[in-house]
Structure 1
């Protein structure tokens, strides 16, 4: 064999070895940030956290001014109290003092009815003797009937005064009470939206506003990074894809850190021609698939987004 061909043999062997799947893959740390924003607009009155700070679950993060919301809640509370008072009034009927007034009017009407009845009896007797005219007798009879009707009317008014409101009235007023209670609950919700708390223990990755600035509704004020939202992205060639599956354990390595266990939880369904970052060992003309692995939150807390990582399948 010519010497020139012997010189190419080692290069061909190396080229054949380069097609083998690597034992480790290069990747980087990626964070899924939680952007905290208020559903209401307002001036930022309190920013309780700083960048790089660790916060616990439920810790106060920021608050907006609440003057308008407090006044609206007070108004809804008074409207509920007024509607409830009207409903209670319908259920109990008239006040005792009002019933006593009607009772006094009834007593006076009964006395007048007795007087009118006696006067009618006298006039009837006098008419038989020729002492009074027919017109006077008819006038006495009319006064007697009117007095008796007035007594009957006041007795019915007294019975009605002791009754509660009509069923339809109470039903309508009960609906007003429920509407006022719903409006108060809405005002409470709006007021609570002006102050946000950490939904989970996390790192304050960034703050986007300063105290005194106006914050539009839905505009993020703070970005949090919980340890459970930290993952490592790496890219594998198509030939190695069959050996990986969600749930498989891998080991993460980086400069200055020990081996960190992680578990694959996602494999991309579409191929890419090259990773979007510089941490790939593959050539540009080779198809690769993105894979994501998540370490345990305790180990993930020490990782930083963008940090280069080496991923070794177990």
Structure 2
């Protein structure tokens, strides 16, 4: 090779290298990622039982854990007792006075009638004596006043008998009904809190990790299980900028990994709007292959475990 030819090759070498780096890679690199959910009680408390272990499959509604519910049971019993007491007071007010109370008022009425009868006879005699001049006007007035008082006493006892036969006033009955409703609301709230002491699986899936055990405290900020729902594993990979236009959302991809079946496929579902960079570079046309976009794809069949390295390429 002549000196001029060698010089031409040396000058062309950077261009050839730049052209090679600009070519997109045939395979896309990524990994499997799981959308885990954490299972925690809605209220703090002591865990008394756990029903699943790491690796167990659970179905929606399966019980996973139970908390100590001693206080909630006592609160529920107290609310039920208040309902019984308020209901009894309402029934008593609605029924009016009891038979012995009514009979006691009747006795008072009979006494008043007897007194009225005696006062009427005494008034009749006094009027006759006054007409004959045997008693004074003052004596007659006294007897007449006693008869009037006896008549008023009879009227009073008749009214009292009517009242004791009636139920309580409408306002009093409404107040008792409100008391019953408040006690029932307390009971429902206590029952709900008691139900929350038992936690069940919200979806079908697999127990990935158990974070707390029986005898430990758990609550909204202290979960007991980490659950991987069925279908919650997806592929995360990075698309070089030069390949972005050839990989639109909806592209079907072949997926390869050490434990993947030969026909495993995934569909490209999302591509981030913002680009990511590999270690700091001087941005230029020749270096733009280092500019990548994070993307996700959903598997068409059983997915590999989260964390599995993946190689993806468009299906032909």
Same fold, TM exceeding 0.5? yes
Larger radius of gyration: 2
Q: Classify the secondary structure of the residue corresponding to 2:215.
A: coil
* 1:45 to 1:7, Cα distance in 2 relative to 1, 3 A: same
- Within 5 A, what are the aligned runs for 1:88-103? 88-103=91-106
Going from structure 1 to structure 2, the CA distance change for 1:162 and 1:265 (only over 3 Å counts) comes to farther
Q: TM-score, normalised by structure 2?
A: 0.85
Superimposed CA distance per residue, residues 182-226 of structure 1 (whole angstroms, 9 cap, x where no aligned partner): 211111111111110001111111111121123355311111110
Residues 76-114 of structure 1 deviation map (CA, whole Å, 9 limit, x = unaligned) = 111122223333333333334433332333233223222
Other-structure match for 2:40: 37
Q: Tell me the secondary structure at the aligned position of residue 106 of structure 1.
A: helix
Corresponding residue number in structure 1 for 2:204 = 201
Equivalent of 1:191 in 179, 189, 194: 194
Corresponding residue to 1:212 among 207, 212, 215? 215
- Matched residue, 2:299: 295
- The verdict on how the C-alpha distance between 1:136 and 1:53 changes in structure 2, with shifts beyond 3 A counting, is same
Instruction: State how far apart, in whole Å, the 2-side matches of 1:128 and 1:179 are.
Output: 71
* TM-score, normalisation: structure 1: 0.85
| Residue in 2 that maps onto 1:181 | 184
Q: What is aligned with 1:271? A: 275
Match of 1:85 among 75, 88, 99: 88
Using the TM superposition, give the Cα deviation of residue 151 of structure 1 relative to its aligned residue in structure 2, in angstroms.
1.7
Q: What CA distance in whole angstroms lies between the structure 1 residues aligned with 2:238 and 2:205?
A: 27
Cα contact 1:99–1:162 (8 A) shared by 2: yes
1:299 is paired with a residue whose SS is coil
Tell me the residue number matched to 1:278: none
CA distance in 1, matches of 2:118, 2:54: 94
Give the 3-state SS of the residue equivalent to 1:2 in structure 2: helix
Post-superposition CA distance 1:51-72 (Å, at most 9, x none): 1111111111111101011001
Contact 1:40–1:218 under 8 Å retained in 2: no
SS state at 2:163 partner: helix
Q: CA deviation at 1:150?
A: 1.8
Contact 1:250/1:264 (8 A) holds in 2: yes
Task: Give the CA deviation at 1:11.
Answer: 8.5
User: In 2, are the aligned partners of 1:62 and 1:197 still within 8 Å (CA)?
Assistant: yes
Match of 1:113 among 113, 116, 135: 116
Q: 2:283 aligns to what?
A: none
Which secondary structure state, in structure 2, belongs to the residue aligned with residue 309 of structure 1? strand
Aligned partner of 2:240 among 237, 240, 263: 237
Q: Of 144, 148, 163, which aligns to 1:145?
A: 148
Q: Distance in 2 between matches of 1:256 and 1:9?
A: 44
Q: Does the alignment pair 1:27 with 2:37? A: no
Q: Which consecutive residues of structure 2, in runs of 5 or more, have no partner in the other structure?
A: 280-286
Distance 1:289 1:130 in 2: 130
Q: Distance between the aligned counterparts of 1:147 and 1:246, measured in 2? A: 102
Deviation at 1:229, TM superposition (A): 2.0
**Distance apart, 1:28 and its partner CA:** 0.8
How far does residue 49 in structure 1 lie from its aligned partner after superposition?
0.9
Change in 2 beyond 3 A, CA 1:103/1:200: same
Query: What is the CA RMSD across the aligned residues, in angstroms?
Result: 2.7
**More deviation, 42-51/260-269:** 260-269
In 2, the alpha carbon distance for the partners of 1:182 and 1:270 equals 52
Corresponding residue number in structure 2 for 1:124: 127
Aligned 8 A contact 1:43 1:212 in 2: yes
In 1: Cα distance, 2:16 partner to 2:203 partner: 54
